[in-house]
Amino acid sequence: MLDLAEPDRYDRSFSLMKKVRKFVGFNDRNGILSARQSLKMARSAHAYVRGNTRNFYEWLATSDIEAVPRGPAIWICGDCHVGNLGPIANTDGHIDIQIRDLDQTVIGNPAHDLIRLGLSLATAVRGSNLPGVTTAKMLETMVEVTKRPLRKRAGNPTFNATDRNQSKSR
C-alpha cells in the first residue's frame, strides 16, 4: 500500500541529488549527470524514449533492418523526437516546424529519424491518455507529410515512398 505521508522514491532521489550536488567535485560531474538523466527517464515511457538515443540505435541494429526503407545517406538529426522539434515563424506569419537540436547529427538513413519520431509521438500520445486512434492518425499524418516532397521530386503525385523498388531506382 502506498504511504501518502512518505515522498515517493523519485522525490527522495531528486532531493538527495540536490544536497549531493553542493559537495561534489568536478570529477563526480559525469556520475551525477548520469544519475539525474536516469531519474528523468524514469518518469514516463516518453521521457525514456527522449533520453535514450543509444538504446534506440542498439534496438534498431538488432531489428530486421531489411524492413526499414533505405534512403540516401544524408545529414539526419540522429535524435529526432517531439521534444527536439519546434515552431519557426517568419514575419508574414508562416510557421514551419523544424528540428532545433542538432548535437547528435550524423550522415545516415532518414528513415531512422522517422522511426524515432514515430516512436516518440506514439509514447507521448500513450502517456496522455488519448485514444489509440489518435496515435494511428498522428503516424499516418507523419508519413503523408513525409511523402509529399518525395512525390514532388519524383514528378509523380502518386509516387509511393514505401515501395522499396521505386526508392532504390531514384
Task: Say what the pLDDT of residue 24 is.
Answer: 60
The whole-number pLDDT of residue 92 equals 93
Please name which of 106, 36, 40, 115 lies closest in space to residue 70, comparing C-alpha atoms.
115
What integer pLDDT is reported at residue 5 of this predicted model? 44
Residue with cell 518525395: 150
User: Could you list the mean pLDDT of each consecutive 10-residue stretch along the chain, which spans 170 residues?
Assistant: 44 56 68 77 70 80 84 88 88 89 88 89 85 90 85 63 44
Side-chain-facing half-sphere of 141: CA atoms under 13 Å? 8
Dump strand ranges (E) for the chain: 74-76, 85-89, 95-99, 106-108
Tell me how crowded residue 30 is: count the other CB atoms within 10 A of its CB: 9
- Give the distance between the most distant pair of CA atoms in the chain: 65
- The residues facing 134 across adjacent strands are none
**In the prediction, which pLDDT does 158 show?**
56
pLDDT value at position 11? 55
